[in-house]
Amino acid sequence: MASELFSSTVGEAFKCLCGFLYSKISTLYKYQSNINSLTDERRRLTNLKKIIEEDLELADKEGRVSRPEVKTWLQDVERIEHDLKSMDSEITAKNARLHGCCIDCRLRYRLSRDAQRKTKEVKQLVSSGVFPSGVAVLNPRPQAVENILGGPVGQKTALEMMDEILKLLSDDRIGKIGIWGMGGVGKTTLVRILNNKLEDSSSPQLFDIVIWITVSKGTGVKMIQSRLAERLKMPTSMMESTEGSASLLSKRLKKEKKILLILDDMWEKIDLDKVGIPHGDAHPGCKIILTTRFMDVCREMETDKEMKVTVLSEEDAWVLFSQSAGDVVELEEIKLHAKAVSRECCGLPLAIITVGKAMRKKKQPELWKNALYELRRSAPYIHGIEREVFLPLKWSYDSLQGKNIKPCFLYCIMYPEDYSIKVSELVHCWMAEGLIDESDDPEDNRGFAIVENLIDSCMLERGDQKGMVKMHDVIRDVAIWIASSSGHEFETFSRSDRGLTKFPEESMKESLRRVSLMNNKIEELPDRLMTSSKLLSLLVQGNLLKDIPEEFFVGLRALRVLNLSETHLITLPHSLRSLKDVRALFLRNCSSLRKLPHLGEFKKLLVLDLKHTKIQEWPEGMEELCNLRQLNLSVTHNLVNIQAGVIARLSRLEELDMQYSAYKWDVSGPQSMGRATFNELASLMHLRFLYIDIKSVTFLSLDLSWWKKLKKFRIHVGPRPYMGVYNPFTHYDERVVELSSISLSGEARFEELLANATALQVFKCTGIRSICELVKSGTRAFIALKSLAVIDCKEMTCVIKGDLVRESILPNLQELRLSELPNLKYILEGMIPDGESLRKLRTVYVLNCDALQCLITPALLPHVQSLEQILVQCCYKVREFIAAEVNVADFSKVRVLDLERLPNLEAVSKNPLAWPSLERLTVRDCPKLKNVIRIDNQNPIREIRGDVEWSLICPGYTT
């Protein structure tokens, strides 16, 4: 029994052993066969992988993305390929080691076994590499609007501007909007509010997608394309060549019906076509908003509408400052100081936030007093100011392009905070210092272009009056910081408008090139200015100086700009003659100055300003100023003597201003023996700007053909009633003729004088019933007129008399002002030929014309269909504003209608009129007026003013 059991057990064991050995031997024997099978399956897998990758590449170009299961399959393929490469290395190593001499059975067996296993895995991958639904799917739709994080907002002005932008975005005519302003003023905040407003689900969905791209300085096309692709969830792998990417992006963007693209912080023009952004006719639904510090960027990007972001009002600034500084500003002992600190930030949000955060939770009043002191310094030492405010604004300075534009900008720190700088004076100073080239034509030199460039770059702002600029206080502080920290070649000492009573001799260093002490209370100057002989500019205007020590100017041989204006000087020291290099000498409004030293030494002088001085005669030696370009002798009420021939010797003179001067210009004749005459002006070959008063019309008999070369002029003919007389020319003052208190009934004709004039004022003249009587040779003499004012001419019955007109009249007139004309019955009496007459007239002002009964007559109507503003006041006989014959469409462009103190006005028109463009309507003291305009969807008036029952005169009006 035991032997049988043993035999059975041994037999089973032998069978197992034989099976095991057979398997091993078979695997070893089939080595080459297994390797070949693996190679075949591997080839199939490689081919299949290639096909799938090609399909994915095509899908990628079409904007589709790989299915998740395809990604997993490719990952499995990469893993097994890595394993197979390891096997290849082992086989190669085995073959190299054995050289075919003997066989390593153990290694051969393992490789054969692994080949069997891998063959099975490869077959499974080949089998699973079939995807009936395709290898790719459409790209998931990007989020319509992404929230952009930011700091505190809520300023009233920003919200109002955002509403205005939303209106523009709804206008099909507007494709590109440029939002510009100085650094730190809140441009990005404004568009961030807009972006997040569009994200709000409660707001109307204006766009299918809003894309925000920050275009920082130095951002190239490729980077913008990459950011666009990322936002659109397009695979970045497709972004190879710039041209190819542009084509793909354009196709993708055109799939969206309405797109808003916000390009924030642009520093230079971007070629939208190169990026692949369809715009204009290529995709009317694509709107673009860009923010920039430079108006030039808006121009180069051809924006349809520009909006300038200005500094905050004091109220908004305080709200923002309170948000940044926290509740501490409401403490009784802090609030007054906090408001003063907020005001010192001058409405610039960047400065407000930085200073506010720096003062957060500071409860000691002394700390706030110190902060106020520091902010009033040019380079305040407050934590974060230099890094957070000055450095970002310096980027704008670093980006200024053009020869000498940076030193021209830095020159502006010579003027006080909030000071309106006269542009012509600034340009003269630049020219005198050699920062810009001297030009034969001051209008053509680079100075005015530089000023506009600085304004467009937000480094300067428009001043309080036309022809003036100013520098924002924070920008001025940055400019002073730049000039003082860089070892600038034009080192400047500026203590203007600081209340100084004593000249700061101790601060006059050898290295100084510019010194400004203007608008202080200094009464005395040192005996001698002990500073560097390299000083170029010295500005001491607006001080209480009564005299200057005799030796004061000795040693200032390099001085080029000297401004002593608005002082109480009576005479000037003879040491002034030592300034042989001076180019600009300003003595404006030195109302006590009676005499100047001999000026013959100033051979290089370019600009001499003697406005409002008490000089009685032509200064000695002035005729020797062979390089003089600009001479201002206006408001010289005591100037009665100019010797014959001296003006003609100023051969380089380009500009002469003698308005309100007492000197009486005559034509050559016995009465003018020894005195300068009007004839001499014709000999000044370089004269381009002339401002002069002439007492009578006798000069009209002279040859005035030279008048045509003048680029600007203002000629006043007749006595001036008083300085500051009503001057209506605010926009068209390039070439002005003023006729005042003279008789126009004689033979004098004004054809040559008016041929190039852009503005004409006829004031208190007699002998004239219409302006047509001013000329003999036809009304072409009025061709350049843009503005016409007729004031207090008692005999005037009409502006244009049709009987005297044979061709178009006033084709370029844009503004017409009629005042104090008691006998004026018509603007146009009779008929005039069809054509260009009055076609550009946009504004009509009529005041105190008591004979006028109807403003717009049937004869006038066809010629005034471009009217935009109509203002009629104090015309007591006006009964009908617009004649009954006028139809609905004739006043479709009128934006402003102002009717005041018209006691007999019964109707604007007896027929109903449509006013589709009317924005503002004013009606006051018109007791008989009824039914002015129906207010409905066709007449959406924005503003209504007056003291009437609007529901009676404006049907449809609701409060």
Task: Return the DSSP state at 286.
Answer: E
> Between 365-375 and 349-358, two packed helices, what is the crossing angle to 10 degrees?
150
- 176 and 301 together in one domain: yes
pLDDT score of 937 more than 60: no
The residue-averaged pLDDT of 630-658 equals 92
User: How many whole angstroms from its chain centre is CA 217?
Assistant: 18
pLDDT score of 776 more than 50: yes
Domain assignment present for 204: yes
Q: How far is CA 797 from CA 422, 768, 769, 827, in A?
A: 42, 9, 5, 8
Lowest-confidence segment of 314-323, 374-383, 540-549 by average pLDDT: 374-383
> What pLDDT score does 146 carry?
66
> What pLDDT score does 172 carry?
86
pLDDT in tens, 436-445: 886 545 555 6
pLDDT in tens, 884-927: 665 554 677 888 999 999 999 888 877 766 777 888 888 899 88
The residue-averaged pLDDT of 47-69 equals 75
Do 178 and 297 touch, CB atoms closer than 8 A? yes
- 20 and 82 together in one domain: yes
- 339 and 427 together in one domain: no
Give the domain-ending residue among 308, 324, 350.
308
How far is residue 132's CA from residue 139's CA, in Å, rounded to a whole number?
A: 19
The residue-averaged pLDDT of 535-551 equals 94
Question: In one letter, which amino acid is 458?
Answer: C
Give the model's confidence band at 127: pLDDT under 50 very low, under 70 low, under 90 confident, else very high.
confident
The residue-averaged pLDDT of 389-397 equals 76
The residue-averaged pLDDT of 141-159 equals 63
> What pLDDT score does 748 carry?
65
Do 550 and 529 touch, CB atoms closer than 8 A? no
The residue-averaged pLDDT of 862-891 equals 81
How far is residue 725's CA from residue 648's CA, in Å, rounded to a whole number?
A: 31
Lowest-confidence segment of 236-240, 423-427, 641-645 by average pLDDT: 236-240
How far is residue 688's CA from residue 551's CA, in Å, rounded to a whole number?
A: 38
Tokens linked to 563: 């401004």
Which range has highest mean pLDDT (240-254, 340-354, 807-821)?
A: 807-821
Tokens linked to 391: 């450095």
Identify the residue whose tokens are 């007449």: 939
Identify the residue whose tokens are 């070369």: 709
Domain assignment present for 495: no
How far is residue 25's CA from residue 113's CA, in Å, rounded to a whole number?
A: 11
Domain assignment present for 297: yes
Domain assignment present for 5: no
Lowest-confidence segment of 11-15, 99-103, 225-229, 885-889 by average pLDDT: 99-103
pLDDT score of 410 more than 70: yes
**Domain containing 367: what range?**
314-387
Label residue 440 exposed, middle or buried (CB < 10 Å: 0-12, 13-18, 19+).
Answer: exposed
How far is residue 924's CA from residue 873's CA, in Å, rounded to a whole number?
A: 9
How far is residue 63's CA from residue 9's CA, in Å, rounded to a whole number?
A: 70
Lowest-confidence segment of 95-99, 321-325, 622-626 by average pLDDT: 95-99
Query: How many Cβ atoms from other residues are within 10 Å of residue 254's Cβ?
Result: 14
Give the model's confidence band at 153: pLDDT under 50 very low, under 70 low, under 90 confident, else very high.
low
Per DSSP, the three-state class of 609 is: strand
Domain assignment present for 647: no
> What pLDDT score does 47 carry?
85
Per DSSP, the three-state class of 20 is: helix
Phi, psi torsion values for 70, nearest 5 degrees = -70, -40
Give the model's confidence band at 216: pLDDT under 50 very low, under 70 low, under 90 confident, else very high.
confident
Would strands 421-422 and 259-266 be described as parallel, antiparallel, or unpaired?
unpaired
- 172 and 109 together in one domain: no
- 170 and 301 together in one domain: yes
> Between 105-128 and 68-98, two packed helices, what is the crossing angle to 10 degrees?
160
Nearest to 546 by CA among 563, 522, 528: 522
The DSSP result for 669-703, as a single string, is SGGGTTB--GGGGGG-TT--EEEEEESSGGGGGS-
User: How many whole angstroms from its chain centre is CA 794?
Assistant: 46
Domain assignment present for 482: yes
Tokens linked to 82: 């890595």
- 373 and 322 together in one domain: yes
Q: How far is CA 468 from CA 180, 208, 396, 955, in A?
A: 21, 46, 22, 46
Give the model's confidence band at 35: pLDDT under 50 very low, under 70 low, under 90 confident, else very high.
confident
- Residue ranges of E strands in 460-601: 461-462, 468-470, 492-494, 514-516, 537-539, 561-563, 584-586
How far is residue 661's CA from residue 612's CA, in Å, rounded to a whole number?
A: 9
- 247 and 331 together in one domain: no
Do 622 and 645 touch, CB atoms closer than 8 A? no
Q: Where are the alpha helices (DSSP H) in 751-820?
A: 751-754
Phi, psi torsion values for 530, nearest 5 degrees = -90, 70
> What pLDDT score does 440 carry?
45
> What value does the CA radius of gyration of the chain take, rounded to a whole number of Å?
42
Identify the residue whose tokens are 């209370």: 521
Lowest-confidence segment of 127-141, 326-340, 626-640 by average pLDDT: 127-141
- 369 and 476 together in one domain: no
Domain assignment present for 629: no
> What pLDDT score does 236 carry?
64
> What pLDDT score does 383 carry?
60
Which residue did the predictor score with more confidence, 367 or 101? 367
- 109 and 228 together in one domain: no
- 299 and 320 together in one domain: no
Which residue did the predictor score with more confidence, 736 or 70? 736
> What pLDDT score does 564 carry?
97
- 326 and 355 together in one domain: yes
Per DSSP, the three-state class of 448 is: helix
Tokens linked to 517: 């002490």
Give the model's confidence band at 836: pLDDT under 50 very low, under 70 low, under 90 confident, else very high.
confident
pLDDT score of 784 more than 80: yes
Could you tell me the CATH number of the domain that includes residue 476? 1.10.10.10
How far is residue 562's CA from residue 553's CA, in Å, rounded to a whole number?
A: 10
pLDDT score of 68 more than 50: yes
Per DSSP, the three-state class of 160 is: helix
Which range has highest mean pLDDT (178-182, 586-590, 663-667)?
A: 586-590
Which residue did the predictor score with more confidence, 875 or 47? 875
Total domain count, the chain: 4
pLDDT score of 144 more than 80: no
Structure pTM? 0.73
Do 613 and 632 touch, CB atoms closer than 8 A? no
Nearest to 927 by CA among 951, 954, 900, 909: 900
Domain assignment present for 100: yes
pLDDT in tens, 315-332: 888 888 888 888 888 888
Q: Any idea how long the chain is? A: 959
Give the domain-ending residue among 132, 147, 172.
132
- 162 and 295 together in one domain: yes
User: How many whole angstroms from its chain centre is CA 811?
Assistant: 32
pLDDT score of 724 more than 50: no
Which residue did the predictor score with more confidence, 454 or 563? 563
